C-alpha cells in the first residue's frame, strides 16, 4: 500500500497535472521517446509495446487484421497490444487510433454515415453531435479509443481528392460542424481544455493543420499559397472552435504553406497553436509525415525528425520505422540538438490526455459495447442524416409539373445507372479499406436499388437495368426512371481530378433514358461534378453525395416521405475551367450557387 500511494501517478484522486509531473519525473529518455511514438498495428506486438514503451498504435486506411474481422476480433488484438504496454517498466497504457471519419467505417458491419460534405449540406449541429456519439460507441465497440476525426479542412477546390472529407467551402459551416467533437469526446467542462468523458467516448482529432483544403488546383499534399489574412479568415477559424470545444489532438497537414512544410512549421505549431491559442492537447504528425517532408520521401530522416520535433510535434505517426526514429531522436537529445524540455512538453501532453480520459484506470477493452457496432438505432440515425444531406437541384422541366415526389404505386418503373446497386460507390473512400470497396458483399447496407424495391407499393414492378439502351427504354412503358450516377470511390491523391467528369457510361444512360421517359438523376459523388451538358434532358436532379450504408434515406426523399431541406455546402460549377470558384469570389457564375436547394414544389430554401 505504501509503494502504491507513493506512486502518485497511479492515484486517480490526484490532480491530472500532479499525476503528469510525477510520472514524467520517473521516465527515462527512451521511455519518453517511446510515448511520442505511434506505430501501425502491422508492426505492433506484445513484445514491441513492452520493450519500447510505445505510446500509441493505429490502423491506417488499409490496416485491418483480416477481412470481416468482428468487434471481438478487434478487441482481442488491441487488448494484446495493451497488455504489452502495461507490462513495460512503468506500465503506461497506450491508445489505439483509427479513421472513424464517417462512422467506424473501416470495420466490417459498422454503420457508415454520410461523408462530411453531405453533413455540410445538412448543416444540423444537433444531428452531427448525435453522429459523433454514435461513432464513439462504434469505435469503442471494437476496443479502439481514438478517432482521427473530424477533418476540418475548408476545401476551396473540388478537384482535391479529399474534398468530400471537408464539410464546406464556407469556414463558418466548418466551424459549426466542430460540434461533432462534443459527440465524440463528450462536452468539456472547462472550455479550451482537452476532455474525453469516459469509456463510451473517444479521443478526437482536428485535422489537418492547417490549410490542407487550400492547395493550388486542389493537388493533394501540395502547396497552399495564401496571405495571413486569408489563412486566418478561411482555414484557421475552425481550429479555434475545436480547441474551445476540447479537442484532445490536432493532426498536422502533409501540405505546405507558402512553400514551407507544415510538419516543420514551428511558428504555426508552437508559436500559434501552443503559445497563442494555449492548446493543451497532443499535436500528432500525419502518416509518414516526417518522411514526406523531403523529396524523395525519407531522403534525410535525421533532419526531418529534428525539424518536426523542434516545430512542436508531440507524437509521430511513423508508422513503421520506429527504431530508426527512436534512435535518431535519442541522439538528437543527447547531442543537445533537441532540448529535454521539448521532449518533456510532448510527453506531458500525451500523459495529460491519457490521465484525462481515464486510460490508467480502464486500459483494457471489454465486450460490453459490441452490439453498438452497426446497431439499428445508429442505422436509423444515419438514414436521417442521409435525408437531411440530399439537395434537390431541379424538379420538372420548364412548364412541366414537378416530377418529385415520385408515386410509390404505379405499373412499372426503371432503376438504372452505374451507382444504383453498388454499396461501395455509395459509401465512398475510407470504407472497409482506404480507397473504399467495389461491390455489394464487402459490408452490410442497403443499395439505392434495394431501397426502391422496399419503398414502392407491392404492385409496382421495379425493373433494374444498369445500362439500358434506347430500345430497352422504349420497349417498356415505364412510368418514370430513377438513374443513379456519379464518381467511383477514392481517397486522397487517387481522387485528385482535373476533369471532374461523371463515370462512363453515366452520360449515355442519361441520354438514352431521359430523352424517352421522365427521369430523376441521383448523383453519388464526393463533390460537384460536370452535369451542365445533361441538364436540359434531366427532369429532376438530386445531389446525394456519399450517403453510406443507409440507402433508404435516399428513397425517403424521392418518394416524398420527407421534404428536402439540404442546401449546397459548396458551389456547383458550370465548367472546370472556372475553378477555383467559391462563394464571395468577384467572378461568380455557378450552375448552382453555394446554399442553393429546392423543396419539391420548387421553393428555394435560401
Ligand atoms: O501502397 N503504398 O505504397 C502506399 C503508400 C502510402 C500510402 O499512404 C497511406 O495510405 C493510407 C492507407 O494506408 C494511410 O492511412 C495514410 S493517409 C493519412 O493517414 C492517417 C491515418 O490513417 C489519416 O488520419 C490521415 O487523414 C491521412 O492523411 C497514407 O497516405 C498508402 C499506400
pLDDT at residue 243 tops 80: yes
User: Rounded CA gap, 408 and 520, in Å?
Assistant: 14
pTM check: above 0.95: yes
pLDDT at residue 438 tops 90: no
* Catalytic-residue membership of 286: yes
Question: In angstroms, what is the span from residue 10 Cα to ligand 1's centroid?
Answer: 36
Dump pLDDT digits (tens) for 482-513: 999 999 999 999 999 999 999 999 999 999 99
5 pLDDT band, cuts 50/70/90, is: low
Q: What is the pLDDT of residue 88?
A: 98
Question: In angstroms, what is the span from residue 435 Cα to ligand 1's centroid?
Answer: 10
Mean of pLDDT over the chain? 97
* Catalytic-residue membership of 461: no
Buried b (16+ CB within 10 A) or exposed e, 171-201: bebbbbbbbbbbbbbbebeeeebbbbbebeb
Question: In angstroms, what is the span from residue 61 Cα to ligand 1's centroid?
Answer: 6
Among residues 286, 288, 372, 496, the one annotated as catalytic is 286
439 pLDDT band, cuts 50/70/90, is: confident
Q: What is the pLDDT of residue 606?
A: 83
Determine the 3-state secondary structure of 307 from DSSP: helix
Grid coordinates belonging to 504: 462512363
Q: DSSP string covering 131-195, please?
A: HHHHHHHHHHTTT--EE---B------TTSTTGGGSS-SSHHHHHHHTTHHHHHH---SSTTS--
Identify which of 492, 493, 496 to mutate to test ligand 1's pocket (most ligand atoms within 8 A of the CB): 492
Q: What is the pLDDT of residue 209?
A: 99
Q: Which of 10-14, 303-307, 438-442 has the lowest mean pLDDT?
A: 438-442
Dump pLDDT digits (tens) for 163-188: 999 999 999 999 999 999 999 999 99
Identify which of 61, 317, 433 to mutate to test ligand 1's pocket (most ligand atoms within 8 A of the CB): 61
For residues 198 and 206, the model is more confident at: 206
Dump pLDDT digits (tens) for 87-135: 999 999 999 999 999 999 999 999 999 999 999 999 999 999 999 999 9
28 pLDDT band, cuts 50/70/90, is: very high
Determine the 3-state secondary structure of 424 from DSSP: helix
Q: What is the pLDDT of residue 162?
A: 98
Residues with CB under 6 A from ligand 1: 60-62, 99, 148, 207, 286-287, 434, 492
- Choose among 98, 99, 108, 38: nearest CA to 73: 108
pLDDT at residue 328 tops 80: yes
Among residues 31, 99, 138, 492, the one annotated as catalytic is 492
pLDDT at residue 60 tops 80: yes
Q: Which atom of ligand 1 is nearest to the CA of 434?
A: 12
ipTM over 0.90: yes
Q: What is the pLDDT of residue 3?
A: 56
Q: What is the pLDDT of residue 1?
A: 47
Amino acid at each position: 500500500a505504501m509503494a502504491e500511494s507513493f506512486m502518485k501517478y497511479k492515484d486517480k484522486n490526484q490532480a491530472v497535472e500532479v499525476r503528469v509531473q510525477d510520472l514524467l519525473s520517473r521516465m527515462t529518455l527512451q521511455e519518453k521517446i517511446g510515448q511520442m511514438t505511434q506505430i501501425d498495428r502491422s508492426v505492433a506486438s506484445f513484445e514491441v509495446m513492452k520493450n519500447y514503451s510505445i505510446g500509441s498504435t493505429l490502423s491506417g486506411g488499409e490496416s485491418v487484421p483480416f477481412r470481416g474481422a468482428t468487434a471481438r476480433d478487434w478487441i482481442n488484438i488491441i487488448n494484446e497490444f495493451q497488455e504489452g504496454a502495461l507490462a513495460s517498466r512503468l506500465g503506461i497504457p497506450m491508445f489505439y487510433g483509427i479513421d472513424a471519419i464517417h462512422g467506424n467505417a473501416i470495420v466490417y458491419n459498422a454503420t457508415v454515415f454520410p461523408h462530411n460534405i453531405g453533413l455540410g449540406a445538412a448543416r444540423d449541429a444537433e444531428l452531427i453531435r448525435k453522429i459523433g456519439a454514435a461513432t464513439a460507441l462504434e469505435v469503442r465497440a471494437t476496443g479502439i479509443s481514438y478517432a482521427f476525426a473530424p477533418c476540418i479542412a475548408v476545401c476551396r477546390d473540388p478537384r482535391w481528392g479529399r474534398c468530400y472529407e471537408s464539410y464546406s467551402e464556407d469556414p463558418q459551416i466548418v466551424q459549426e460542424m466542430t460540434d461533432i467533437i462534443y459527440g465524440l469526446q463528450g462536452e468539456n467542462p472547462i472550455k479550451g481544455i482537452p476532455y474525453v468523458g469516459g469509456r463510451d467516448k473517444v479521443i478526437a482529432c482536428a485535422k489537418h493543420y492547417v490549410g490542407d483544403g487550400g492547395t493550388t488546383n486542389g493537388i493533394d499534399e501540395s502547396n497552399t499559397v495564401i496571405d495571413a489574412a486569408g489563412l486566418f479568415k478561411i482555414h484557421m477559424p475552425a481550429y479555434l472552435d475545436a480547441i474551445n470545444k476540447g479537442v484532445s489532438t490536432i493532426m498536422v497537414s502533409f501540405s505546405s504553406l507558402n512553400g514551407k512544410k507544415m510538419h516543420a512549421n514551428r511558428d504555426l505549431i508552437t508559436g500559434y497553436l501552443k503559445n497563442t491559442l494555449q492548446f493543451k492537447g497532443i499535436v500528432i504528425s500525419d502518416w509518414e509525415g516526417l518522411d514526406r517532408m523531403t523529396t524523395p520521401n525519407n531522403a534525410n530522416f535525421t533532419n526531418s525528425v529534428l525539424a518536426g520535433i523542434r516545430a512542436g510535434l508531440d507524437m509521430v505517426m511513423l508508422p513503421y520505422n520506429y527504431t530508426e526514429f527512436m534512435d535518431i531522436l535519442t541522439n538528437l537529445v543527447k547531442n543537445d540538438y533537441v532540448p529535454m524540455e521539448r521532449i518533456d512538453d510532448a510527453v506531458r501532453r500525451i500523459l495529460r490526455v491519457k490521465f484525462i480520459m481515464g486510460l490508467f484506470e480502464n486500459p483494457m477493452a471489454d465486450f460490453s459495447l459490441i452490439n453498438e457496432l452497426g446497431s439499428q438505432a445508429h442505422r436509423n440515425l444515419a438514414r436521417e442524416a442521409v435525408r437531411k444531406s440530399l439537395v434537390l437541384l431541379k424538379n420538372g422541366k420548364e412548364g412541366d409539373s414537378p416530377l418529385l415526389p415520385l408515386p410509390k404505386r404505379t405499373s412499372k418503373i426503371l432503376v438504372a445507372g452505374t451507382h444504383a446497386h453498388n454499396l461501395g460507390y455509395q459509401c465512398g473512400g475510407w470504407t472497409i479499406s482506404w480507397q473504399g470497396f467495389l461491390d455489394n458483399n464487402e459490408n452490410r447496407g442497403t443499395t439505392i436499388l434495394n431501397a426502391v424495391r422496399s419503398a414502392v407499393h407491392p404492385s409496382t414492378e421495379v425493373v433494374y437495368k444498369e445500362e439500358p439502351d434506347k430500345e430497352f427504354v422504349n420497349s417498356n412503358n415505364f412510368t418514370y426512371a430513377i438513374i443513379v450516377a456519379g464518381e467511383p470511390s477514392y481517397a486522397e491523391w487517387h481522387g485528385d481530378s482535373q476533369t471532374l467528369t461523371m463515370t462512363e457510361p453515366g452520360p449515355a444512360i442519361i441520354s438514352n433514358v431521359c430523352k424517352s421517359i421522365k427521369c430523376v438523376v441521383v448523383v453519388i459523388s464526393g463533390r460537384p461534378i460536370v452535369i451542365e451538358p445533361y441538364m436540359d434532358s434531366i427532369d429532376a436532379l438530386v445531389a446525394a453525395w456519399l450517403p453510406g450504408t443507409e440507402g433508404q434515406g435516399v428513397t425517403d426523399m424521392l418518394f416524398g416521405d420527407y421534404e428536402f431541406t439540404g442546401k449546397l455546402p459548396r458551389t456547383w460549377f458550370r465548367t472546370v475551367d472556372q475553378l477555383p470558384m467559391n462563394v464571395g469570389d468577384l467572378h461568380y457564375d455557378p450552375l448552382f450557387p453555394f446554399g442553393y436547394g429546392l423543396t419539391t414544389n420548387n421553393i428555394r430554401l435560401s
